[in-house]
Structure 1
Amino acid sequence: MTGYYDIVLGAIPLSLLGISGSLTFATDLALSTAVTLGALVAVALIGHAMFVNGPVDAPSLRQDAPATPTDSPTSTPVPDAE
């Protein structure tokens, strides 16, 4: 099963090499400029994967968290035994 982060990891070198190579050969851009532009796309992919769609853990219930008043069995008033 291919997830989002697997695609990002594959797209980083693909964008760096693919964009750099295509800009160098197709547009006669200098190699240093083409590599810089390819690296900017790779950095944008990394930034998106880290900050926009960052990896998060699923929310879980803490065992040491205090119970809320609605969860506690003693939260309802007990009538006096008279």
Structure 2
Amino acid sequence: MGYALHYYDLVLVCIAASLGLGAGIGYATPVAIEVSIAVLGVVAIGFIAHALFVNGPVDEPEDLTDEVAVEEVPQVLSPVNTAD
């Protein structure tokens, strides 16, 4: 079973990359590190806002009211032991 990158995986990579790029610019150029991280932190906030509000994890607010059966929860997240 292979793993495929999904949209939210890429969002996390973009957040880390923008903050890392800010640190790199701060160290490698005469731009103050505080300024470069703050500016590229705004870019990271843009990625977060897009992931939450433009391409949110649910399609409709009614999706938030759906109940999930315990059997549907992945085993690594489930507090209930199964007989498997």
Q: TM-score range by the shorter chain?
A: 0.5 to 0.7
Letter of the 1:32 counterpart: E
TM superposition outliers: structure 1 runs of 4+ over 6 Å? none
> Which of 37, 40, 57 is 2:39 aligned to?
37
Structure with max Cα Rg: 1
* TM-score between the two structures when normalised by the length of structure 1: 0.60
SS in 2 for 1:54: coil
Q: Is 34-43 or 11-20 further displaced after alignment?
A: 11-20
* TM-score between the two structures when normalised by the length of structure 2: 0.59
Q: Does 1:13 align with 2:20?
A: no
Q: Does 1:53 align with 2:83?
A: no
Q: How many residues align?
A: 59
Higher helix share: 2
What do residues 13-58 of structure 1 show as CA deviations (whole Å, max 9, x unaligned)?
A: 11101133125423x1111101101211111100010001111158
Distance 1:31 1:19, change over 3 A: closer
Select the structure with the greater relative contact order (CA < 8 A; seq sep ≥ 6): 1
Unpaired runs of 5+ residues, structure 2, are 64-84
In 2, Cα distance between equivalents of 1:51 and 1:15: 20
State the superposition RMSD in angstroms. 2.3
Letter of the 1:5 counterpart: Y
In 2, Cα distance between equivalents of 1:20 and 1:38: 9
Letter of the 1:51 counterpart: F
In 1, Cα distance between equivalents of 2:20 and 2:58: 30
